[in-house]
A and B are shown apart, each in its own frame.
Chain A
Amino acid sequence: MSPVLKYTISVFFAFGCCVLLPEQSMALQTHGAPEGIYVHQMAHILYMAAMGYLYWDTKRSTFPGRGWIYLRIFCVFTILWNFLALIGHASTQHLHPEDFTNVDGYLFSKVNMPLTFVKVVYYTAKLDHLLAVPAMFFLYMSLRSFYKNSLKKDGE
């Protein structure tokens, strides 16, 4: 039997097993519900690490100008936001629908007593825009400063 024929038969056999006996083939991994939240949390961690690195490197590089200071402040706020979001997402894993009341509609929903640490963390994490917006504001300030410096440099 020629090697080409042997190879062809092997490929067809493997394909047949996958189609006819999927449990036996173990070719695909199944993804359960928690995977989404895990990936999301890992993305937050990755985001934090990236911002930490950016902070460290811009400080190490001693690039001149106020814009870089604003950029580093952006990094700090973004790290804090990520951290808040991370623990906010984690806190939802420990909350139940009966911890909230929305009898009068969604806008008037409230956290039921007694207050627990998880509930406080969740409530605080829901206000994450108080960190995310300043972070974006400092990024904006940073880029504005870079642009003004660029204009000034050309003006010279």
Chain B
Amino acid sequence: MEMYMLPSVITDIIGSQLMIVLSFLSLRYTFLLIRREPDNFLWGFLHYFCIALAIFAISRAVGHMVKQALLISDQKEIWKMISPFSGGINTLLMISVSAVTIYYHKGVEGYRAIQQKAESLRHANRNLEKATTTMKEMNLHLEEMVESRTQDLALSEEKFRNFFHNSKDMVFFIDKEGAILDMNKAGLEMLDYSKEKPPRLSLNHLFANINDLEDFQNTLSSQKFVEDFEAELIKKDGSIIYALLSATGIYDENDEYVGCEGIAKDLTRLKTMTAQMISTEKMASVGQMAAGVAHEINTPLGIILGYSQLMKDDFPENSEEYENLVVVERQSHACRKIVADLLKFSRQSGSSAQEVNINEILTDVIAITEHNLHLDHIDIEHCLAEDLPVIAGDEEKLRQVFVNLINNAQHAMEDEGGVLTVRTSFSKEEQMVTASVIDMGTGIDEKIRSRIFDPFFTTKSVGKGTGLGLSVSYGIIKDHNGTITIESPVMYKNSCQLTPGTAMHVRLPVLGQDDNRESTPATDNQLLEKDKNG
């Protein structure tokens, strides 16, 4: 058996070539790796390792191939000369590869530490990503929730705003000091304040009665709410309105009172209507009673008068009996006049409707009463509207009304004198004629204002009045479907100054409007409207 060296020669030649190819392919990958990740130490190490290996492979493979070539061509001497250099270089490169590998030792420790940090960072990043995903989901849900809540809030806010702005009752918000923070349009209108620039108001400004305010605040602090609290509120011009208040206290998270929110309803109209009904009932019952009394007294009075006149014939004139019968007859006539007045008040006396011009009636009345007024140093100032339309009424009865009013005005000014103003006007919108008798007297006390139309009620001294004048006037005007109202104190002329005098306003429908008007007793309504205005 013989062992030829040819296989080893072939293996050597092919292997050397493969070594070069594979080392350069490896080098290519390390080059790509460090280009992709220049900061990665391991790729750097492998790159230098492959460079050393590639050089080693070239050196060794070239050496081997040269050797094979020289030996095949039988040039042993040349190979003998080159061989030490080839071997030396190979040795050197093997040491280099080893050195690079040993150098790896130091670098890899740092790389390992970096890797650990990187791994922990990656772990942290993964956790962060999970947390971010969770947060995103939560955020998404949160956004949906916020959007839903915002819509609900907007709806609620719109409802509240509509309620606040469109409410016909006053809606207000008050801080803990009692200052009004906000008030809706209806509230400002109720108090006659400007909607554009409402003033800074407080409960102290609004409440007319300090006791009411204290009660309101005490109830609020004790119960934390106030329900159906009636109070008088002051309007911008100083007049009073009646209001029904309901309020709820507002408390912060520490249960500290920070203010209240409430609603106020204007009860003035309701109060007026109630008073009107009471007054109407009262006047109706008084009228009925007066009519009954008048009828009952009228018959015996007629008999007394008849018999006294018959008995006068039985006695000579200038005799004592005759004179006594004259007194009886005169007083009986006085009684009959009173009875007639009572019947007028109760509207049971007959009347004749005809076209009447109020200006003419007033001119007649002024002419009759002017002399007496001048005696009391009262000047008459009349301002009668031109082209005043006629009304349908009883001229005599209306004349009696204005005589009564002027007499009352004279009585009010008899001590001090002054100016008595008579004025007429016409309202096209209402188709009403207004006649006003305005004095500069002492005015009408608040306490007696509701009684001045009562029969036999008088402030005059005994013998100066029967107390039937205004009652009769009331009955007559009511019979004409008109109103009679009182204004006291009165705004004198066009000035803004209130004087203690009184204005009596008689309003009568023009001819043709009468049938269209309800025969409601507007007098009382009007009267009470004036009452509330002080």
Contact = CB atoms under 8 A, between A and B. Distances in A.
Co-complex (A, B): yes
Interface of A: 36, 39-40, 43-44, 46-47, 49-51, 53-54, 57, 61, 63, 100, 105-111, 113, 115, 119, 123, 126-130, 132-133, 136-137, 139-140, 143-144, 146-147, 150-151, 154
Contacts of A126: 5, 8, 11-12
A40 B90 contact: yes
Nearest to B20: A136
Contacts, number: 128
A61 B108 contact: yes
Contacts of A133: 15, 18-19, 22
B11 A147 contact: no
A132 B95 contact: no
Contacts of A139: 22-23, 26, 50, 53
B102 A105 contact: no
Contacts of B104: 54, 57
5 contacts: A43-B95, A57-B108, A106-B71, A127-B11, A140-B29
A108 B4 CA distance: 6
Interface residues of B, number: 51
A147 B26 CA distance: 11
B522 interface: no
B9 interface: yes
B26 A39 contact: no
A105 B9 CA distance: 13
A40 B105 contact: no
B95 A46 contact: yes
B213 to A, nearest CB: 77
B64 to A, nearest CB: 9
A63 to B, nearest CB: 8
Of the listed residues A119, A129, A146, the one surrounded by the most CB atoms of chain B closer than 10 A to its CB is: A129
A123 B98 contact: no
Contacts of B15: 128-130, 132-133
Given A43-B98, A137-B22, A146-B33, A36 B87 contact: yes
Given A40-B87, A106-B72, A129 B19 contact: yes
B94 A107 contact: no
B484 interface: no
B8 A127 contact: yes
Interface in B16-59: 16, 18-19, 22-23, 25-26, 29-30, 32-33, 36-37, 42-43, 46, 50, 53, 57
B102 A50 contact: yes
A147 B91 contact: no
Contacts of B74: 105-106
What are the nearest 10 A-B pairs in CB distance? A129-B15, A126-B8, A143-B29, A50-B101, A136-B22, A50-B98, A43-B94, A111-B3, A106-B71, A46-B98
Interface string B102-140: 101100100010000000000000000000000000000
Nearest to B3: A111
B14 A129 contact: yes
A107 B71 CA distance: 8
Contacts of A36: 84, 87-88, 91
B190 interface: no
A147 B19 CA distance: 20
Specify which of A54, A151, A154 lies most central, judged by the most chain B CB atoms within 10 Å of its CB.
A54
Interface string B394-428: 00000000000000000000000000000000000
Contacts of B29: 140, 143-144, 146-147
Contacts of A136: 18-19, 22-23, 26, 53, 57
Contact of B12 (A63, A106, A129, A140): A129
B97 interface: yes
Contacts of B25: 140
Contacts of B81: none
Given A105-B74, A106-B71, A106-B72, A51 B33 contact: no
Nearest to B14: A129
Given A54-B101, A150-B36, A39 B91 contact: yes
Of B4, B18, B98, B112, chain A has the most CB atoms within 10 Å of the CB of B98
B1 interface: yes
B62 to A, nearest CB: 14
B429 interface: no
B33 A150 contact: yes
B456 to A, nearest CB: 112
Contacts of B199: none
A44 B87 CA distance: 12
A129 B18 contact: yes
Contacts of B3: 110-111, 115, 119, 123
A147 B33 contact: yes
B320 interface: no
A43 B36 contact: no
A110 B4 contact: yes
Most buried by B among A44, A123, A140: A140
Nearest to B56: A47
